[in-house]
Amino acid sequence: MEPAPRNPDRPLACIVMAGGKGTRMRSATPKVLHPIWGRSLLGWVIAAVREAGADRIVVVVPPDAAAAVAAAADGATTVVQPDQLGTGDAVRCAMPALAGFDGDVLIVSGDTPLLTSALLTDLVGAHSAAGAEGTAASFRLDDPGAYGRVVRTDGGIRIVEAKDATPDELAIDEVNAGLYVFSASALRPALAGLKNDNAQGEYYLPDVVPAIAAAGGAVRAAEVADAALLLGINTRVELAEAASLLRDRIITAHLLNGAGIIDPATTYIDADVTLAPDCVVHPFTILRGSTRLATGATAGPHSVLTDAVLHEGAQAGPFAHLRAGTVLHAGARVGAFVETKNAAVGARSKIPHLSYVGDAQIGEDTNIGAGNITANYDGRTKHRTVIGDRVRTGSDTVLVAPVAIGDDATIGAGSIITHDVPAGALGIARARQHVIEDYAKRKRDA
């Protein structure tokens, strides 16, 4: 396919076919909801379609998973396909949601997460450049298996399903990718005439091709060189393959953008993570959700960050677990075997070792001693801990929330703090030490 610009003035809609059952996943989760790097398969497809400029997106969903799939459809319109009567039926169910739409309709499958917006815009551009009413993406395979075959006819194409093909047709190595662009005005009447008199008793979407041709419209195949972009997911084996390819794609984009990723082979980064140039991600680190690292921030080694924000020069790791809602302000540091959740750590403050800090706010230049715990849960509700600037807490402190520690306060080691400690004060709450002289000797003599 020659790259051709898409005409930005021609409206583009998209139908995502996700009405199938996906039984080969052997999973209670609907196929298109399986996640890869923080996004569902459907989420990947919708992101690519949106980036390609589709202003209206209609997702065809199965009746038994309608609500769950609709929730993952991220603002797109969803329509239920009551019975899985084939791809032609799926598109027919979607068309009422595009009533009055006059432009190009891109049709994709919900289980092809490797599609890129560049591929989709090229396809729509090739469609316009050819002045076609229909364009089907195709690719070549040494072993074309169960794919529909693209039969080139003079002036156009025909698509025949493997189960309906003659031996000569089965020998064709150009296959139908299941990715199309049609002019809405040509697609509507062609869908109305679909029949299911074929080997599978299904309404085949590719059967709109001869109908459009019979009405005088041109239908072309646009060959895609990189077939990996078209990988469809049917089993968990293919899901793992796609995850591996997408992982490389995510990491490569970050590296080209200037993020330091020391060992891509042991680094896992979700699709919606943001990395600024010159941040550093050390080996064996997992960045999840909407995590953001600013310039000079470092994560890892051996750390897991979920929906966390690291400002300039902040550090998490080694062996840190930052859960949702953690914010490390500039130069703050969270070290080994520390778990944080819903916690803001002020500039240059440190939680260096062995602590749990949840539902907490810590000021600037504060040091949390080793083994400190914010006891935030009373069995019913979560409570907040507020710690001021320049606070020092001793080792093995428990802060029983709700509790507040004022600026410049000190907490004695081993304290269980249940009452607020005012600014500048020492809070200490532990049993006094007793020393019994000559204890060993008395024990021996007894």
Residue number with the smallest Cβ distance to ligand UD1: 148
Give the footprint of ligand UD1 on residues 365-384 (CB under 6 A).
none
30 contacts 73 by C-beta, under 8 angstroms: no
b/e code 230-247 from CB counts within 10 Å (16+ = b): bbbbeeeeebeebbebbb
Q: What's the CA gap between 128 and 3, in Å, rounded?
A: 11
Q: What's the CA gap between 287 and 296, in Å, rounded?
A: 16
Q: What's the CA gap between 16 and 98, in Å, rounded?
A: 13
Decide whether 94 or 294 has the Cβ nearer to ligand UD1: 94
- Contact flags string 57-76 toward ligand UD1, x per CB under 6 A: ---x----------------
| Surface-to-core class of residue 436, CB atoms within 10 Å of its CB (0-12 exposed, 13-18 middle, 19+ buried) | exposed
For the bound state, the minimum distance from the C-beta of residue 314 to ligand UD1, rounded and expressed in Å, comes to 42
The answer to the question of residue 331 lying near ligand UD1 (CB under 6 A) is no
Measure the CA dihedral 264/270/271/274, to 10°. -80
Mark the segment that binds ligand UD1 (CB under 6 A) among 12-20, 46-54, 260-268, 325-333: 12-20
For the bound state, the minimum distance from the C-beta of residue 12 to ligand UD1, rounded and expressed in Å, comes to 20
Q: Which of 278, 324, 320, 314 is nearest to 300 (CA)?
A: 320
Q: What's the CA gap between 277 and 426, in Å, rounded?
A: 43
Mark the segment that binds ligand UD1 (CB under 6 A) among 2-10, 48-56, 83-91, 166-174: 83-91
Give the footprint of ligand UD1 on residues 142-171 (CB under 6 A).
147-148, 159, 161
Within 13 Å and on the Cβ side, how many CA atoms surround 382?
A: 9
The answer to the question of residue 355 lying near ligand UD1 (CB under 6 A) is no
Decide whether 39 or 329 has the Cβ nearer to ligand UD1: 39
Decide whether 228 or 426 has the Cβ nearer to ligand UD1: 228
The answer to the question of residue 406 lying near ligand UD1 (CB under 6 A) is no
Q: Helical H runs in 181-339?
A: 184-192, 208-214, 236-256
- Contact flags string 230-249 toward ligand UD1, x per CB under 6 A: --x-----------------
Active site residue 282: no
The single residue among 13, 46, 69, 111 that binds ligand UD1, judged by CB under 6 A, is: 111
The answer to the question of residue 43 lying near ligand UD1 (CB under 6 A) is no
Hey, is 91 helix, strand or coil? Answer: helix
- Contact flags string 276-315 toward ligand UD1, x per CB under 6 A: ----------------------------------------
Mark the segment that binds ligand UD1 (CB under 6 A) among 105-113, 285-293, 353-361, 395-403: 105-113
Q: What's the CA gap between 436 and 154, in Å, rounded?
A: 105
The single residue among 18, 344, 362, 403 that binds ligand UD1, judged by CB under 6 A, is: 18
What is the CB neighbour count within 10 angstroms for residue 335? Answer: 18
Dihedral pair phi/psi, residue 335, rounded to 5° = -110, -145
Give the footprint of ligand UD1 on residues 195-224 (CB under 6 A).
204-206
Residue 431 neighbours by CB under 8 Å, 6+ apart: none
For the bound state, the minimum distance from the C-beta of residue 51 to ligand UD1, rounded and expressed in Å, comes to 20
The single residue among 40, 135, 176, 183 that binds ligand UD1, judged by CB under 6 A, is: 176
- Total chain residues near ligand UD1 (CB under 6 A): 27
Within 13 Å and on the Cβ side, how many CA atoms surround 245?
A: 20
Residue 262 neighbours by CB under 8 Å, 6+ apart: 280, 281, 282, 283
Enumerate the active-site residues.
Answer: 353
Under the rule (CB under 6 A), what is the footprint of ligand UD1?
17-20, 60, 81, 84-87, 89-90, 109-111, 147-148, 159, 161, 175-178, 204-206, 232
